[in-house]
Amino acid sequence: MSMKIFVGNLPPSATDDEVLDLFLEYGEVEEVNLIMDGVTGKSRCFGFVTMEDGGEEAVEELHQSDFDGRMINVRRWASRHDRGDGHDRYRRH
């Protein structure tokens, strides 16, 4: 089963290939999606990595590690629905 991973505090210069190389050390990477500002086209300094395997180890090893001079935040991603934070507008209260 695939695991989606949030990666935050990336340097603005980070590329998909650089993030891919970082996560490939831990297993097969299905997708890297760095988020760009729709107006300026500049990096929003975060993104998502989807891994088939090795995701747990990647999160454990890479969280608060140095990436091009910045301490990156790496954690398993859970959607609002998965988190159950009460913001699901279709849920009955």
Q: What is the pLDDT of residues 3-36, one digit of tens each?
A: 999 999 999 999 999 999 999 999 999 999 999 9
Q: Is residue 64 part of a domain?
A: yes
Residue 31 covered by a domain: yes
In a domain? residue 90: no
- 93 belongs to a structural domain: no
Q: What is the pTM of this model?
A: 0.82
In a domain, residue 66? The reply is yes
When divided into structural domains, the chain yields a total of: 1
Give the model confidence (pLDDT) of 33-57 as tens digits: 999 999 999 999 999 999 999 999 9
- What angle is formed at CA 31 by the lines to CA 30 and CA 32, rounded to 5 degrees? 145
| 43 belongs to a structural domain | yes
Q: Are 49 and 28 in contact (CB under 8 A)?
A: no
Q: Residue 87: inside a domain, yes or no?
A: no
DSSP E strand stretches across 9-58: 29-36, 43-51
What CATH number corresponds to the domain at position 17?
3.30.70.330
What's the CA angle centered on 30, arms 42 and 35, to 5 degrees? Answer: 15
What is the 3-state secondary structure of 18-30? HHHHHHHCCCCEE
Does residue 83 lie in a domain region? no
d(CA 52, CA 10): 22
Full residue range of the structural domain in which residue 10 is found: 3-77
